Structure 1
Amino acid sequence: MGPRNQTCVSEFFLLGFSEKSEQQLPLFGLFLSMYIVTLFGNLFLMMAIGSDSHLHTPMYFFISNLSLVDLCLVSTTVPKMLVNILTQSKAISYVGCFTQMYFFSVFACMDNFLLAVMAYDRFVAICHPLRYVAIMKPQLCGLLVLISCVLSLLTSLLHSLMTTHLSFCKDHEIPYFFCDLTQLLKLSCSDTFINNILVYFTTGLLGIVPLTGIITSYTQICSSILKVPSAEGKYKAFLTCGSHLCVVSLFYGTVFGVYMTSATHTSWKSIVASVMYAVVTPMLNPFIYSLRNKDIKDALKKFISRSTSSQ
């Protein structure tokens, strides 16, 4: 109870970007535009998949879930940042900061798990095509998404509960534009040894294991593709994995960028990496999937055509 009673902070300050007044309007316009593009890009992708019965397959089921998670991820951070720019305030309440930290962690974890699940789906499709329908049943697909959701909720809840017992009685300034768990641990004047051990353990278990699964899946996929005799067959096989590989590279590249730059205390590089991870990646994902996929492009055209003709 002692450390908890020492917590004398009612709000934190999200430093984020430049404090120069002449740069606030361009920053607001930039991030508002990125948020609108992310919002409509992911919504259109989900509605196009939902409206086309030909896309009611495991691969597109996972893509639509990834779009929903990306939409929730960016909605956790950007609206508050836009409000702060408009009001020329960097403050976020204690409760608001912990709420933001919790939901950001939930959706980031779900992104991680869904990418691993999608890699398994591609592995089954290419390495065991004759058994694909029998293995990737709707029940299994739903169960994999449910497990990803439950693990993300429980892991984030554990971190949040452990962090609420810390004291924050000195510096209240967070260098990011959102409340990040690792940054809150750095601000605490309590002993964060157990918290850090928990972060390292969950990162290793729930981060490295899915990444290892992705690498293993694609190792098997590449091995199978190389055995395909025709060049056209190899191209089609690689095409089914290309979009997912781009998204995986973008996601893990930006995640590693955030933690590598934060570890070396280069604040500006860390802020840029966090923007790539929390805003740019969710914005680009629907375009990566739609621009490289003829079925999704056709479904989008049909959906837009039906929407405009009904007005």
Structure 2
Amino acid sequence: MNRLQLIQAIADCLQDRPYALQDARQLVSHACSCSIEELLAHPETSVSGRVVRQAMRLGRKRAKDVPMAYLLGYRYFFGRRLIVDKHVLIPRPETEHLVEEAVRLVSKNLSHHTLFLDIGTGSGAVAITLAAETQQHVIATDISHSSLSVARKNARSLHVDHLIEFKQGSLLQPVKSAYFHGFDQVILLANLPYLTFELLEDSPKEVVEYEPILALVSDENDGLDLYREMLMEWTAKRTAFPQNTQILLEIDPRQALVVETMVQEILPHATISILPDLANLPRVVCLSNF
């Protein structure tokens, strides 16, 4: 069997799925340990039985809606290849808006010594990107030991582990006041679980069935319990933070009004702005002037 025949065999297996041919090419490329470009440039190249078995096994899993990122073992975020597995949420393009705003804030104040706090780091996508893009220090927290293990691997592979401290614990619990010494600006970012089970039902099957539920769903009420708890923790610790502190939160666009009300209740004097994503939907909540 050659590469082209193997691609077609997997595409046939995925015929009921959108992007069947694209997925088939990616899976065969992965099994052959070659780029898509090389794969397509030499479709007549024979493949070994081992490669056929591996590619077909991946194809059968994809037919059952296992996410491509889990099958390949990686996902690109901000142009960087990140390891992902079943223990971490797959990084989303929407989250890049969160990072872009943080980078913009730093670029406005280059004279400041900035500390980033990435709460609920997961794969480390946000923390690693911030470190790589700004060369500033990052403290990244997560309650999951397995997630932190993935995040540390990513930081090492992308050579930013010297800029990031990973701390295990819930929300702001691992964050100590001593961490702020020497910094005159703190930017706190959070992409916490914010879906309700009702909102989750609108997600693709591969998300609902395979991504870690605890990284997606907060509660059955409004989905904002973790954000609410984190902001309450921040108010209790606020005197430890520099005066120049800003908070950035990723939300589901359908929660914008509820989030605004929640923030006004907890931080009545805060300045609130909500930034849109590429679809012009409210995505990033920016809080300042507490």
Q: Which has the higher strand share?
A: 2
Q: Which has the higher helix share?
A: 1
**TM-score calculated relative to the size of structure 1:** 0.24
Which one has more relative contact order, counting CA pairs under 8 Å at least 6 apart? 1
**TM-score calculated relative to the size of structure 2:** 0.26
